[in-house]
Amino acid sequence: MMIIAILTILAGMPVGFLFRKSTATQVFVGHALNFSVWILLFILGIGLGLDSTLMGQLDSLGLQALLISLFATLGTIMGGGVLGRYAFPDAFLSNQEAREWEERECINREEKKQGIAPELVKNDCTPKNSDSEKQSKLSALKDSLIVLTFFIGGILLGAYPMIPMEWAMGNAAAWTLYILLFLAGMSVGFDLQAFRILRELKGKILLVPFVTVVCTLLASPLACLIFPDLRIIDAMAVGIGLGYYSLSSTMISQEISPALGSVALLANMIREILTLVLAPLMVRYFGRLGPVMAGGATSNDSSLPVIAKYCGERYAIIAIFSGVFLTLIVPLLLSFLLYFA
């Protein structure tokens, strides 16, 4: 799945680069990203509503899963806010300020090259794909409410035997995700100069997955204050799935118990959904690293479209790197915790 997701993103980049001067294409991709996110959440909601086992566990195990995911997500976005404040100069800038900052940085780099006039550099380096309006609290809340409405609507529809299970859990969700990833790749391709961030940040980019892991491990056990019977090591094992619910739930079910495996499944699904639904508010209050770190291991696939939309192309590149890195180390970290559990 990860390889297919990466290839889909890479396939969209050259297409976006070819249409980088087409304003109509960029507007279309922005609207298509919105619509695709709504459809994906709607399908996920239907899948949850159709799964009677998961729905039956919501009243018992669901509260544990909800609190673990809430604490883990809140911990990571707070860590992202601190990291962004001190290590990423543009993390808290508005869209207009970020464009001006990026333009100044580009000009400063190119002025060092011989024979390049600053005024020409300015025209060559101005970001092409960005929203011209400042994101307000009202617009952030509106976007989150729209996405949440689609997800809840899917759950309600799935709770009734009107939609075949194969439709909701099969190809529809997969194809919607691939379309989203392709569009996200196009949005990155509109400004491929964003890739220089990997060279500019050097080792600093490793702080993103590192802080994500540390904050998750520190915040997840806070659920034990509400559920005294929940062991700290168990809460950490559930949280360290970082949205990778298929792997984490299977490993925890085999090594500890099916009940805790169900908690891991629900908690990591909730974390992914929180990222998709609350991304605009995360950016507003915790900076552009908020959704990147909240997405965890999903930031390079299912969470990438909302990251590209609300955080910009530069942070989409960081999200791809962080998501791939976390996806690779989640099995190692989880195995380490399960050994002590």
49 or 326: which leads in pLDDT = 326
Res. 73: pLDDT tops 90: yes
Q: Pick the most confident of 33-42, 44-53, 280-289.
A: 280-289
What is the per-residue pLDDT for 135?
A: 43
Angle at 138 between CA 275 and CA 185, to 5 degrees: 40
Residues 285, 93, 71, CA angle at the centre, nearest 5°? 25
Sign of the CA dihedral with 300 first, then 303, 304, and 308 last: negative
Q: What is the pLDDT of residue 9?
A: 76
* SS3 state at 291: helix
Average pLDDT, the chain: 79
Check residue 130 and give its pLDDT: 45
Separation between Cα atoms, residue 263 and residue 234, nearest integer Å: 10
pLDDT for residue 192 is more than 50: yes
Sign of the Cα torsion 93, 98, 100, 105 reads: positive
Angstrom distances, CA of residue 222 to CA of 185, 234, 236, 260, 311:
37, 12, 10, 17, 29
In Å, the largest CA–CA distance within the chain is: 69
Region 122-142 average pLDDT? 48
Stated pTM of the model? 0.71
245 pLDDT above the threshold of 70: yes
Map residue 115 onto helix, strand or coil: coil
Confidence of residue 224 (pLDDT cuts 50, 70, 90): very high
Amino acid 46: pLDDT: 78
State mean pLDDT over 60-74. Answer: 91
Torsion of CA 300, 303, 309, 313, to 10 degrees: -10
Other residues' Cβ atoms within 10 Å of the Cβ of residue 199: 8
Q: How confident is the model at residue 204 (pLDDT cuts 50, 70, 90)?
A: confident
Q: Give percent above pLDDT 90 in the chain.
A: 24
Closest C-alpha to 316, from 110, 135, 127, 39 = 127
Mean local confidence (pLDDT), 28-50:
78
Domain boundaries, given as residue ranges, for the chain = 2-21+57-94+175-340, 96-130
Which residue type does 182 have?
F
Better-scored residue on pLDDT, 87 or 119:
87
Q: Which residue has the higher pLDDT, 9 or 18?
A: 18
CB 92 within 8 A of CB 84: yes
**What is the predicted pLDDT for the residue at 259?**
80
DSSP string, 202-214: GGGGGHHHHHHHH
The model's confidence at residue 167, banded by pLDDT at 50, 70 and 90, is low
Which stretch, 79-83, 99-103, 269-273, 320-324, has highest mean pLDDT? 79-83
Q: What is the pLDDT of residue 30?
A: 79
* Distances in whole angstroms, Cα of residue 275 to Cα of each of 77, 92, 196, 293, 297: 10, 18, 26, 9, 12
Looking at residues 267-282, what average pLDDT do you find?
Answer: 90
- Find the mean pLDDT for residues 302-320: 86
Q: What is the mean pLDDT of residues 297-308?
A: 86
Q: Which residue has the tokens 């990147």?
A: 292
